[in-house]
Structure 1
Amino acid sequence: MKNMQEEMLKYLEKIIEEEKQVARKGEIPDYIEAVDNNDHGAVTVSLTSIDGTTVRAGDHEGRFSLQSISKLFPLALSLMDYGSEEVFNYTGKAPTGNVYHSLIQMEMQEKEKPLNPMVNSGAIVMCGLMKGDSADEKFERVLALARDLTGNQELTYNENVYQAENQDLNRSLFYYNRHNGYIDGEFEDVMPVYWKMTSIEVTIEELSNMAAVIANHGKCVHSGKEIIPSDIVTTLKAFMVTCGMYDESGSFALEVGIPAKSGVSGSIVAAIPGKLGIGVMGPDLNKYSNSIAGIRMLKKISNKWRLSLFSEDGSS
């Protein structure tokens, strides 16, 4: 096992050095650069196997916000609250070729629900649907789940990022969905949940711990405790494959083949069922709002150890 860890670490350090050459070619969203990670060219990766072993390499020691990775939380909680049949009355299951904050697909069809829970409109609907009598109560449920998944019971959100998340476009998505009947609640009971959950901050190791729980079919790799029921984890992985990388999901599935979810902080969480979880971080983004270095590292890791679900010896 020690030899395997050393081999993995050596390879991770190698690809990080390679990706540093291209990592600075992207952009960081203005509000992220102002209040969160603004370290152009930073590249880091952590792998946590289902036996609880973690291997980390890279040059970023701090915390960063989960951003859209957090969309997995209200989906999981809503599924636990109501079951899939009820939940998918409020959101679809289809990928989108539009940007993650788009209104256009819903506008094209009268009273159309959000295409999936991984776009902003769908995640906001899930924040409205999940059980809780107030925004505070709902967010405490989200935070408790995030703490269990990452293994850090002190996990919290960044107040500055939370304030910066208060964007007009997401406000419009709330009101559009409420107008069409997919949200039954007041603005102040829903949107603070969405803004706070995207502002939850993690380390790279905590991100790979979260991925490892998903890879381990919902069970903590350290204690064996079930955090999310396995059937719900199956749904999460399906959405990660089809919708997790914004409108780059199709090419990512073809080239990498690992269930993954990205965020505009430059973070990506990826889970190889029955094997390991991966967290990668590189704040410079491509035109699809995904980490340039992160995608390139995941492609190399997937090819190196043949981790694609769609390879002959994959995990499907």
Structure 2
Amino acid sequence: MENMQEEILEYLEKIIEEEKQLARRGEIPDYIEAVDNNDHGAVTVSLTSTNGTTVRAGDYEGRFSLQSIAKLFPLAIALMDHGSEEVFKYTGKAPTGNVYHSLIQMEMQEKEKPLNPLVNSGAIVMCGLMKGKDAEEKIERILSLARKMTGNPDLSYNEEVYKAEDQDLNRALFYYNRHNGFIEGEFEDTLPVYWKMTAIEVTIEELSNMAAVIANHGICVHSGEELMPSDVVTTLKAFMITCGMYDQSGSFALEVGIPAKSGVSGSIVAAIPGKLGIGVMGPDLNKYSNSIAGIRMLKKISDKWKLSIFSKDESKKDESK
């Protein structure tokens, strides 16, 4: 086992060095660069297996905000609160060909609800759907789940990033959804939940711990506690593979084949069911708002160990032979 970990670490360090050469070729959103990540060369990766073993490489000491990765939390909690039949009265299940903060995708639909829970409009609806008497109680529920998934009991959000998240477009999405009956109440009960959760800060190891819970069907790989029912995790993975990488999701599924969710901080969380959770980070983004280095590292890792969920599982022998 020790030799295997050394081999994995050696390979991760190799691809880190390769990707550092390309890490400065994209862009960082202005508000992220101003208050969060401003080191274009900070490339890092962490792997946590379902038996709890972690291997990490690169600049892994820093913290960064989850951004859109955090959209997985209100979706999971809303599903646990209400069940899937009720949840999908308020959001669709379809990928989108538009940018993640688009209004036009709802205007073009007959029922005008968000296309899926991983675009901004859908995630805001999920924040409104969660049970809780106010925004503070809801964000505490999200933080509680995030702390258990990452293994950090002190996990919290970055106040500066939270304030930078307060943007007019998200307010417009809230009011559009409320106008169409998919959210109730005032924006103070919902939008601060959305802004604070996207500002939650993690290390790369905490990100791979979070991914490992999803890979382990909702069970924490360190404590053994069931944090989410397996059917909820199945829904998360389905949306990750179809919608998790914005409008690059189709090509990512084809080329990498791992359920994943990205954020504009440059982070990506990826989960190989029953095997492994992966966290990657590279701040510079491509035109789809996904990490350039992160996607390349995930492809290399997937190809190296044949991790695509669409590939034949070579570990299973034909028992008839």
With structure 1 as the length reference, what TM-score do the two structures score? 0.99
Q: What CA deviation, in whole Å up to 9, does each residue of 1:124-168 have, x standing for no partner? A: 000000100100011100110100110101000000000000011
Q: Partners in 1 of 2:300 and 2:53 — Cα distance?
A: 21
Q: Does 1:52 align with 2:52?
A: yes
Q: Partners in 1 of 2:34 and 2:25 — Cα distance?
A: 19
What amino acid sits opposite 2:304 in the alignment?
K
Q: What CA deviation, in whole Å up to 9, does each residue of 1:20-68 have, x standing for no partner? A: 1111100000000000011112100000001100000002421100000
Q: Does 1:167 align with 2:171?
A: no
Which residue in the other structure is 1:185 paired with?
185
How far has the Cα of 1:109 moved from its partner? Answer: 2.8
Distance 1:41 1:314, change over 3 A: farther
Q: Partners in 2 of 1:242 and 1:109 — Cα distance?
A: 19
Which residue in the other structure is 2:19 paired with?
19
Kept in 1, the 8 Å contact 2:130–2:138? The answer is: yes
Q: Partners in 1 of 2:125 and 2:69 — Cα distance?
A: 16
Q: Does 1:39 align with 2:39?
A: yes
Q: Partners in 1 of 2:173 and 2:16 — Cα distance?
A: 38
Kept in 1, the 8 Å contact 2:48–2:55? The answer is: yes
- The count of corresponding residues between Structure 1 and Structure 2 is 316
Which residue in the other structure is 1:283 paired with?
283
Q: Does 1:217 align with 2:214?
A: no
How far has the Cα of 1:224 moved from its partner? Answer: 1.1
Q: Does 1:227 align with 2:238?
A: no
Distance 1:141 1:314, change over 3 A: farther
What amino acid sits opposite 1:157 in the alignment?
Y
How far has the Cα of 1:197 moved from its partner? Answer: 0.2
Pairs within 5 Å for 1:1-316: 1-313=1-313
Q: Partners in 2 of 1:158 and 1:179 — Cα distance?
A: 31
SS of alignment partner, residue 24 of structure 2: helix
SS of alignment partner, residue 190 of structure 2: helix
With structure 2 as the length reference, what TM-score do the two structures score? 0.97
Which residue in the other structure is 2:318 paired with?
none
**Moved segments of 4+, more than 6 Å:** none
Kept in 2, the 8 Å contact 1:256–1:302? The answer is: yes
What amino acid sits opposite 1:39 in the alignment?
D
What amino acid sits opposite 2:97 in the alignment?
G
Q: Partners in 1 of 2:171 and 2:309 — Cα distance?
A: 37
What amino acid sits opposite 1:64 in the alignment?
F
What amino acid sits opposite 2:11 in the alignment?
Y
How far has the Cα of 1:222 moved from its partner? Answer: 1.2
SS of alignment partner, residue 46 of structure 1: strand
Kept in 2, the 8 Å contact 1:308–1:314? The answer is: no
Q: Partners in 1 of 2:109 and 2:13 — Cα distance?
A: 49
Q: Partners in 2 of 1:45 and 1:164 — Cα distance?
A: 26
SS of alignment partner, residue 74 of structure 2: helix
Question: Percent of aligned positions with the same letter in both sequences?
Answer: 85
Q: Partners in 1 of 2:121 and 2:174 — Cα distance?
A: 7
How far has the Cα of 1:111 moved from its partner? Answer: 4.2
Q: Partners in 2 of 1:109 and 1:265 — Cα distance?
A: 30
Kept in 2, the 8 Å contact 1:71–1:117? The answer is: yes
Kept in 1, the 8 Å contact 2:151–2:209? The answer is: yes
Kept in 2, the 8 Å contact 1:23–1:43? The answer is: yes
What amino acid sits opposite 2:85 in the alignment?
E
Q: Partners in 1 of 2:155 and 2:274 — Cα distance?
A: 26
SS of alignment partner, residue 160 of structure 1: helix
Q: Partners in 1 of 2:149 and 2:298 — Cα distance?
A: 21
Q: Partners in 2 of 1:55 and 1:105 — Cα distance?
A: 40
Cα RMSD after superposing both structures: 1.2
Gaps of 5+ in 1: none
What amino acid sits opposite 1:104 in the alignment?
I
Gaps of 5+ in 2: 316-321
What amino acid sits opposite 2:89 in the alignment?
N
Distance 1:69 1:314, change over 3 A: farther
Q: What CA deviation, in whole Å up to 9, does each residue of 1:237-286 have, x standing for no partner? A: 00000000000000000000000000000000000001010000000000
